[in-house]
Amino acid sequence: MQYVGCIYTYREGCICVCAIVCGPVTVCVFLLVCMCMPGLAAVDERVVGGQNCGRHQQPYQVALMRSPKIVRCGGVLIHPCWVLTAAHCALNSPISMRLGEYSLRTTEGTEQFIKSTQSFVHPNYNSTTHDSDLMLLKLQNVARINNYVRTIDLPDNCPEPNTECVVSGWGTIKTPQVYYPDVLQCGNLYILRNTDCNKIYPNAVTENMLCAGVTKGGVDSCQGDSGSPLVCNEKLHGIVSWGSQLCSQRGKPGVYTKVCRYTNWIQDTIRKNSCN
């Protein structure tokens, strides 16, 4: 009897075990068992169904690195020495980040490699409900602002339903399999009413969250995109937080931390912890 097996994850909190067992008469059986642990934040969400972003058209985009070649999460530059990301992206400090990045495999000379010196998780963050899923990272060195690295403005107010937005990130571009792109991906999404989103995810969407998607599905954030920005009318309105177990499904929008609810906390934290 011959046996071939594998183990892989297709979303954070979900693990699959597969096996091919062949008997002595060459009869083979394929087995696949998946187990998910609900309630875990979707660490590493992605852009599925998007396209390559225009080269350096998202100069506020930041990559939080798990290793020199692997992106853990996304982030967004909101101040020359501050990055905003999702609280569930927390790693051991310092966190290595890349600014001015576009192609992960190609060095263009536009990149800035900076580590964090402090992290500030929102005091009301709840890892079970994903509420207040925000974290500020203070940079060891002030980012050099140029054509490839720029900050983005915080919103003046909350976005209206049906507002068109852009989400970006280096997350997987396939689901439920994972395939991570080399080039930054962008997807166009639309804001939903929270009342409509709560019908999709009953009792899960708080006033501190917003939902964005496409009615027919096909475009979504997913594994690898957590912490990445959702930008509407050139303002930062959302941070990728959580969503459906399978990305880009019809009627299953992504859920984002609603930045407009946290501008006071963000500004106060920056003011009280000035750059070196």
Same domain, 82 and 140: yes
Q: Are residues 112 and 124 in the same domain?
A: yes
Distance CA 169, CA 227 (A): 9
Residue 45 lies in a domain: no
pLDDT digits (tens, 9 = 90+) for 96-153: 999 999 999 999 999 999 999 999 999 999 999 999 999 999 999 999 999 999 999 9
Assigned domain for 215 exists: yes
Say if residue 206 is in the same domain as residue 231: yes
Instruction: Identify whether 52 is part of a domain.
Output: no
> Is 50 a residue whose pLDDT tops 70?
no
Annotated catalytic residues are 88, 133, 226
Of 20, 14, 24, 77, nearest to 44 by C-alpha is 14
For 24, the domain range is 2-36
Residues 6+ apart with CB under 8 A from 56: 100, 102, 110, 147, 148
Whether residue 56 lies inside any domain: the answer is: no
Same domain, 101 and 138: yes
- pLDDT tops 50 at residue 7: no
Would residue 68 count as lying in a domain? yes
- Does 165 share its domain with 244? yes
Q: Evaluate whether residue 227 is within a structural domain.
A: yes
243 lies in the same domain as 161: yes
Q: Which residues contact 253 (CB under 8 A, 6 or more apart)?
A: 189, 192, 197, 200, 211, 212, 213, 220, 243
**In a shared domain, residues 210 and 222:** yes
- Mean pLDDT across the stretch 80-95? 92
182-200 pLDDT per residue, tens = 899 999 999 999 999 999 9
How many structural domains does the chain have? Answer: 3
Q: Provide φ and ψ at 265, rounded to 5°.
A: -65, -45
Question: Between 107 and 245, where is the model more confident?
Answer: 107
Residue 24 pLDDT: 52
